[in-house]
Copies of this chain bind each other. A is one copy, B any other.
Amino acid sequence: MVSGPSSLSLRTHTCGELNVDHVGKWVTLCGWVQYLRQDLFVILRDFSGLTQILVPQEESASKVKADLCDLTVESVIMVTGTVRKRPAGQENKMPTGEIEVLAENVEVFNVSKKLPFEIKEFVKKSESLRMQYRYLDLRSSRMQKNLRLRSQLVMKMREFLCNEHGFVDVETPTLFKRTPGGAKEFVVPSREPGLFYSLPQSPQQFKQLLMVAGVDRYFQIARCYRDEGSKPDRQPEFTQVDIEMSFVDQEGIRTLVESMLQHSWPAEKGSIQVPFQTMTYEEAMRDYGVDKPDTRFNMKLTDISDIFSSTQVEFLRSALDQPEGSIQAILVPCGALFTGRELESIKQTAKTQFGQRPLLGSLRLQCAELLESHGRPVRDPLAFHFLWVVDFPLFLPKEDEPQELESAHHPFTAPLPEDTALLFTEPHKVRGQHYDLVLNGCEIGGGSIRIHRASEQLYVLKNILKEDPSQLTHLLEALDFGAPPHGGIALGENYQVFL
């Protein structure tokens, strides 16, 4: 069977593939009328590009001419004819710019009504109009390219995982029991009054159970749900590349992800270098004031507490007197460009976010944005800086009850082996085997080596997190029936923002 994008189709070729090698060929094209010119040309479009159709002018072809010249923009037609070289001087730089097709037959599939907006990149459309007529918005070459890029990228990831590394694509249920603590889950009423399904936020428990089941290597392009209202970068349903492996350590998972991204990375975006930079949580907070630093630019935080060690300036004094209080500086090159109003906005941020953890990180980004608004390039929009952040604290004080601890990520993350003994003495000092993947300051993935022993999992739930372990009986029981050491990662949909 013939393969390629025109297999099994009414057309013989796509509108983007004809060139001088096809001159003299009898071809059939199908597509949308991009525009008509002077009753002489019809520009026909499909997903792959544009071809110029020459309208025949002879009396004997008057029916074809009439059919073509009556067309409205975005009507759908099939044209059959011969590929010709364009007359000298009429060529252009488009991929099909050296040829045209002289129409000999035309079939009109559908005549289009006047569209609410034109299918042209340069025509500005409002977001709401684009959403209302999403099927028209998707006709633009940019959206066509994006849809195809995503499909191909995911396909390459699948090939890498499935064909090269023995991963098994397993579909996990989405209608299931509520996850303990999963406050943001959608519920789905069942046929039994009072009983509800829940749409899970991630297949976390399923994939751990698959490891207990001996599946060894699992992946899924998993649909996940989160009931917290729509935000520009958070949608109620989203997709993650979900991975879990048995008999692996942190290093193994990280190398796998680096190789997968390298394998699937679109050639047109340049190559990416592995291994990625790695930074501890402590370093990230110290140098960038945030756990997902944008490492495309410098402007690191500098601790200048020493200079002010004997200061009597009151607000500096009081900062230093606080436990772990410090005075930090950000050197902003060309910061002298900032206007009074801009400096005021920086101060305002500092005031409103004072005492919140990522304040210094926010100020650093704000300075970068301000510099860029003055025409000073700071962050290269074409650069991709991947970064692993590791050695997160396993527990953090609860916001409302700082004496209590909660999981920094989730209660299934294993402690660093060298910190395990601290679980029983100083749990707030334990670092977890958790790793976040950061790209240009966005968290695009996160994962961990999991706890695989029931006794350790029970201790964390009951004694440290003070949670009722009865809700996780099924998981604790599974760990007791021969759970292998295992770990994984989820790469989120933020990843797509960059493509």
Interface residues of A (CB under 8 A from B): 1, 3-5, 7-11, 30, 32, 45-47, 74-76, 78, 109-110, 112-113, 115, 133-139, 144, 147-148, 150-152, 154-155, 158-159, 162-166, 168-171, 173-175, 186-189, 191, 197, 199, 209-210, 212-217, 223, 225, 227, 229, 236-237, 239, 245-249, 252-253, 255-256, 259, 452-453, 478-485
Chain B nearest CB: distance from A47 CB in Å? 5
Closest to A274 in B: B1
Across the interface, do B214 and A46 meet the contact criterion of CB distance under 8 Å? yes
Chain B's nearest CB lies how many Å from the CB of A42?
14
Given A8-B248, A74-B481, 15 more pairs with CB closer than 8 A:
A4-B166, A7-B165, A8-B256, A30-B247, A32-B484, A110-B453, A112-B481, A113-B481, A138-B210, A138-B213, A150-B169, A151-B168, A171-B239, A187-B189, A189-B189
Q: Residues of B contacting A259 with CB < 8 Å?
A: 1
Q: Tell me if A164 and B482 are in contact (CB < 8 A).
A: no
Write the nearest CB–CB distance from A425 to chain B, whole angstroms: 25
Give the complex CA separation of A289 and B174 in angstroms: 38
Query: Whole-angstrom distance from the CB of A191 to the nearest CB of chain B?
Result: 6
Contact partners of A10 in chain B: CB under 8 A: 247-249, 252, 485
CA distance A209 to B245 in the complex (A): 38
Q: Tell me the bound Cα distance from A460 to B9 in angstroms.
A: 27
CB-based contact B115/A245 at 8 Å: no
Residues of chain B with a CB closer than 8 A to A150's CB: 169
Contact of A139 with B452 at beta-carbon distance under 8 Å, contacts A112-B480, A151-B169 already known: no
Contact B135 A210 (CB under 8 A): yes
Question: Are B155's CB and A229's CB within 8 A?
Answer: no
Which of B9, B214, B229 makes the CB contact (< 8 A) with A247? B9
Contact partners of A45 in chain B: CB under 8 A: 214
Docked-complex contact B3 and A164, CB < 8 angstroms: yes
Picked from B4, B148, B155, the residue with its CB within 8 Å of the CB of A165 is B4
Closest to A11 in B: B247
- B residues near A136, Cβ cutoff 8 Å: 213, 481
List 4 tightest A-B contacts by C-beta distance, closest first: A5-B166, A138-B213, A112-B482, A8-B252
Q: Is the interface of A mostly helix, strand, loop or mixed?
A: mixed
Residue from A9, A189, A247, A256 whose CB has the most chain B CB atoms within 10 Å: A247
Once the chains bind, are B191 and A169 in contact (CB under 8 Å)?
no
A229 CA / B191 CA spacing, docked (Å)? 7
- Taking A9-B252, A144-B214, A484-B30 as contacts, is the C-beta distance between A170 and B151 under 8 angstroms? yes
Residues of B within 8 A of A173 (CB): 237
Once the chains bind, are B147 and A47 in contact (CB under 8 Å)?
A: no
C-alpha gap A249/B150 in the complex (Å)? 28
**Nearest opposing residue in chain B for A173, CB measure:** B237
| Contact between chains at A169 and B189 (CB < 8 Å) | no
Q: A8-B245, A168-B147 are in contact. Are A237 and B155 (CB under 8 A)?
A: no
Determine if B255 and A212 form an interchain contact, defined as CB atoms under 8 angstroms apart: no
- Asked if B113 and A480 make an inter-chain contact with CB atoms under 8 angstroms apart, the answer reads yes
Q: CB within 8 A of A482: which of B1, B5, B75, B483?
A: B75
Residue of B nearest to A48 (CB): B216
- CB of A478 within 8 A of CB of B135, answer yes
A-B contact pairs, 22 of them (CB 8 A): A3-B164, A7-B164, A8-B245, A10-B248, A30-B247, A32-B482, A46-B214, A74-B481, A78-B247, A109-B485, A110-B452, A113-B480, A135-B478, A139-B214, A147-B170, A147-B215, A148-B168, A155-B159, A155-B162, A175-B236, A186-B188, A188-B199
State A138–B479 Cα separation when bound (angstroms).
15
Q: Is the CB of A484 within 8 A of B237?
A: no
In the complex, the answer to whether B11 meets A138 with C-beta atoms within 8 Å is no
| With contact pairs A144-B215, A162-B151, A252-B9 given, residues A225 and B170 touching in the complex (Cβ less than 8 Å) | no
Residue of B nearest to A259 (CB): B1
Known: A4-B166, A171-B239. A32 touches B248 (CB 8 A): no
- In the complex, the answer to whether A32 meets B75 with C-beta atoms within 8 Å is no
CB contact between A5 and one of B165, B171, B174, B239 (< 8 Å): that residue: B165
A399 to B151, CA, bound (A): 43
CB-CB under 8 A from A151, the residues of chain B are 162, 168-170
